[in-house]
A = this chain, B = another copy of it.
Amino acid sequence: MNKASDQTITSEISEKLINAIVNGEIAPGSKLSEPKLAQQFNISRGPLREAIRRLEGLNLVYHVPREGVKVVTLELKEIIEIYHVREALEGLAAGLAARNMEQKEIDELHKLLELHEQYIDDNGEYFRQEGDFDFHYKIIQGSKNQLLIKQLCHELYHLVRMFRYQTRKLKSRTQQALIEHKQLVNAIEQRDEQLAELLMRRHISRARENIESKWQENET
C-alpha cells in the first residue's frame, strides 16, 4: 500500500501531508505548526521539516522565514495560472504521446474511454473525479519524457487535484469532455502529433474558460 514511501520517515510524511492538503484536511491558508504535526505523527521535527521543504517545491505551501509555513490558497488568479501552464505542458505531452506511445498503451486509453462512456449512461461517480485523472496521466506517461512526467504528475497535478477537490460539488462537463477525449485518442492513434497537441490544448483551454465563467456566478 505504501508504494512511494521509500523507507524513510520524510517520504512517508510528505505523502501524508500532500494528501491532507490536497483534500482539505489541512485548510488552505492555515499554518503548519511543526510541534503539533510532529506530535500528531509521532516523529521528531527533523524529518518533518525536510518533508515540508519538499512540499514547498511542489507549491503546496509557502515559507515565511521565522514565521512559519502556510498552505497555499487557490483563488481564480492562481487557477488561471495553473491552467495556462497545464495547457502548455500537457499540449507537449499529447504531441509526444502521439509520437512515442505504444499500441498497448493506446489500447488502455480506449478502455478508459469505455469507462467514461459507461459513466455517462449510468450516471456513476468514477469518471467525475479519478477517471479523468487516469486518462490524462496515461497520456502524460505516454510522452516518455521523464522531466515532463515529473513536472506534471508529481508537481502540477497536486494543485489541480486540490482545486478539483475544493469544487467537487460543482458538476463538470463530462459529456463534452468525452467527445474531446475521443478526438484526442484518435489523433494519437493516427500519430498526428500536431493535431494531438492542438486538441489537448483546446481541451484544457475550454476547461479553464468553463471555470472562469462559473467562478463569476459563485462569486456574486
Contacts and interface: CB of A to CB of B under 8 A. Distances in A.
A200 B54 CA distance: 32
A89 interface: yes
Interface string A79-90: 001101101110
A84 B145 contact: yes
A202 interface: no
Contacts of A85: 89, 92, 145, 147-148, 151
A161 interface: no
B84 A148 contact: yes
Contacts of A150: 59
Interface string A82-121: 1011011101100010000000000000000000000000
B147 A8 contact: no
A160 to B, nearest CB: 12
Interface stretch (A26-34, A45-53, A177-185): A45-53
**Oligomer: number of copies:** 2
A127 to B, nearest CB: 27
A56 interface: yes
A38 interface: no
B146 A81 contact: yes
Given A50-B49, A66-B7, A84 B88 contact: no
Contacts of A146: 81
Contact of A59 (B7, B87, B147): B147
B96 A65 contact: no
A56 B50 CA distance: 11
Interface string A34-63: 000000000000100110011011110000
A11 B96 CA distance: 36
B65 A8 contact: yes
Interface of A: 6-8, 10-11, 46, 49-50, 53-54, 56-59, 65-66, 78, 81-82, 84-85, 87-89, 91-92, 96, 145-148, 150-151
13 contacts: A7-B66, A11-B65, A46-B46, A57-B58, A59-B150, A81-B147, A81-B148, A84-B92, A84-B148, A85-B147, A85-B148, A87-B92, A88-B92
